[in-house]
Amino acid sequence: AYDVRAQTVDMSRASCRVRLLTDEPSQAMPAEGSRVGLTVDLDGQLIAAQTVVIRTDPVAAEAVLSFTTASPEDLARIDRHVLSELSGS
């Protein structure tokens, strides 16, 4: 296992799209179907979840990750964050 830094591009309760922050995205791109541990900083609070890679775009250095395991509290934080972003708060 290894750590890869990424920026969240889009997020919902079910999944997120991330852009890999690396000089060699093709080397760091996870394979579709692989399981990835994810830690996201949402407004200063860390959220940890297990995900599965459902789609990759090596040209854009992006991957879509579907949440498979996350606590109800973390899912509620994601919901609040998404609603805040949508409302412009």
Could you report the per-residue pLDDT of 72-87, keeping only the tens digit for each? 999 999 999 899 888 8
DSSP structural state of residue 37: E
Per-residue pLDDT band at 28 (split at 50, 70, 90): confident
The pTM of the full predicted model, rounded to 2 decimals, is 0.87
Q: Please measure the distance between the N-terminal and C-terminal CA atoms of the chain and give it in whole angstroms.
A: 37
To which residue do tokens 């296992």 refer?
A: 1
40 and 46 Cβ atoms separated by less than 8 Å: yes
In contact, 16 and 65? CB cutoff 8 Å: yes
Residue 27 confidence class, pLDDT cut points 50, 70, 90: confident
At residue 29, what are phi and psi to the nearest 5 degrees? -65, 125
Joined tokens for residue 13:
């309760």
Residue 4 to residues 25, 62, 63, 73, Cα–Cα distance (Å): 10, 12, 12, 25
Mean pLDDT to the nearest integer, 22-40: 87
